[in-house]
């Protein structure tokens, strides 16, 4: 790179890790001239800084080019594919099986802007916007995400998420933990009928006073905290929920690349 680096830029080791997962240029037509590493650097810059597409620095590729790649990879499911591949690499590096046997589900309500698109009012959190429903493994790594209007209740949103998770066919997955917002025997029965998973609600004791760290639930809360480091995710600025989901996958990809680069010999 013939420019001053940004803190969000990929290091040489991180690029070596992710480069094999980047889709090759489509056959036919003009050869690809854009530097794909710089395209990723621009996307990670936007995520970390929270800027608009049109405000990307001039020493990065044109914003139209960067957005074009981001959109194309969203439509082709590339962001989710890269997330899945890196998650397996992180789990392997930690000495775990590639697929999880247990997971944790939770949601986060965030405000939207004046940008048109799906939104609703969460009367519990007093937020007008959208909900991010995520499922993570016991390391806090993202298995799947669904973004929907904030007025959709937890159980209904979780059903959308778990239907998507079932399609990914995690063969080892047996148990899902959740908080009290998902409580109820009908929800347990629905999850068992859907995929044969146990659905266990981790509840706070009525006798407990003050702040208490609840087993398993803190893991997914930590994942939301990780995502909070990326200013583009401070609100939902996107017109399409699918774009919001891709932004979340991209943020997790950046996080996992940093983790994998600490011990690259186990990956490269």
Q: Is residue 7 part of a domain?
A: no
Residue 2, in any domain of the structure = no
Q: Which long-range contacts link 259-267 to residues 24+ away (Cβ below 8 Å)?
A: 259/90, 259/93, 260/14, 260/17, 260/86, 260/89, 260/90, 260/93, 261/11, 261/13, 261/14, 261/17, 263/93, 264/13, 264/16, 264/17, 266/92, 266/93, 267/17, 267/89, 267/93
pLDDT of residue 211: 46
The arithmetic mean of pLDDT across residues 219-237, rounded, is 96
Higher-confidence residue: 23 or 2? 23
pLDDT digits (tens, 9 = 90+) for 168-218: 989 999 999 999 889 889 999 999 999 999 999 987 655 555 545 556 889
Predicted local distance difference test score (pLDDT) of residue 228: 95
pTM: 0.94
User: Domain range for residue 147?
Assistant: 12-266
User: Would 3 be classed as within a structural domain?
Assistant: no
Range among 77-86, 110-119, 121-130, 256-265 rated most confident: 77-86
pLDDT above 50 for 233: yes
Lowest-confidence region among 54-58, 81-85, 111-115, 141-145:
111-115
Give the model confidence (pLDDT) of 104-131 as tens digits. 999 999 999 988 899 999 998 999 999 9
Q: Is residue 2 predicted with pLDDT exceeding 80?
A: no
Instruction: Please tell me the number of Cα atoms within 13 Å of 79 on its side-chain side.
Output: 26
- With bands split at pLDDT 50, 70 and 90, how would you rate the model's confidence at 25? confident
Lowest mean pLDDT across 3-7, 31-35, 186-190: 31-35
Report which secondary-structure segment, H or E, holds 148: strand 142-149
- For the residues 44-68, what does the mean pLDDT come to? 97
d(CA 200, CA 261): 35
Q: What is the mean pLDDT of the chain?
A: 93
Q: What angle do CA 62, 51, 147 make, to 5 degrees?
A: 105
70, part of any domain = yes
CATH number at residue 130: 3.30.420.10
Predicted confidence at residue 208, as pLDDT, reads: 54
DSSP for 80-146, written as a single string: HHHHHHHHHHHHHHTT--SS-SEEEEEEEEEEB-SS-S--EEETTTTEEEEEEEEEE-TT--EEEEE
- Return the pLDDT at 203: 72
The pLDDT of residue 164 is: 96
pLDDT at 161: 97
Burial class for 20, CB neighbours closer than 10 Å (0-12, 13-18, 19+)? exposed
- Report the percent of the chain where pLDDT is more than 90: 82
Asked if the structure places residue 1 within a domain, the reply is: no
Asked if residue 37 belongs to a domain, the reply is yes
Decide if pLDDT at 245 tops 60.
yes
Work out how many domains the chain is built from and give that number: 1
Kind plus residue range of the DSSP H or E element containing 178: strand 175-178
Which candidate, 48, 50, 21, places its Cα nearest to that of 36? 21
The answer to the question of residue 5 being in a domain is: no
Q: Which residue has the higher pLDDT, 116 or 95?
A: 95
């Amino acid at each position: 790179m013939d420019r001053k680096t940004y803190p969000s830029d990929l290091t040489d080791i991180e690029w070596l890790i992710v480069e094999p997962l980047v889709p090759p240029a489509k056959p036919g037509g003009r050869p690809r001239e854009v530097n794909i590493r710089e395209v990723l650097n621009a996307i990670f810059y936007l995520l970390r800084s929270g800027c608009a597409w049109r405000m990307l620095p001039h020493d990065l590729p044109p914003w139209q080019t960067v957005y074009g790649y981001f959109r194309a990879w969203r439509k082709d499911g590339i962001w989710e594919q890269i997330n899945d591949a890196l998650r397996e690499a992180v789990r392997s590096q930690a000495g775990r099986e590639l697929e999880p046997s247990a997971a944790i589900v939770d949601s986060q309500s965030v405000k939207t802007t004046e940008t048109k698109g799906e939104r609703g009012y969460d009367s519990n959190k007093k937020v007008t916007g959208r909900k991010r429903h995520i499922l993570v493994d016991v390391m806090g790594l993202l298995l799947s995400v669904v973004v929907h209007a904030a007025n959709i209740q937890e159980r209904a949103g979780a059903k959308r998420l778990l239907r998507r998770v079932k399609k990914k066919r995690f063969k080892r997955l047996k148990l899902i933990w959740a908080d009290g917002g998902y409580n109820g025997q009908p929800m347990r029965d629905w999850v068992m009928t859907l995929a044969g998973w146990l659905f266990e609600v981790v509840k706070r004791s009525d006798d407990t006073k003050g702040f208490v760290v609840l087993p398993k639930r803190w893991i997914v809360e930590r994942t939301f905290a990780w995502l909070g480091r990326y200013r583009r995710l401070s609100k939902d600025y996107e017109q399409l929920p699918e774009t919001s989901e891709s932004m979340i996958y991209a943020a997790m990809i950046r996080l996992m690349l940093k983790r994998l680069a600490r011990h690259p010999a186990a990956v490269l």
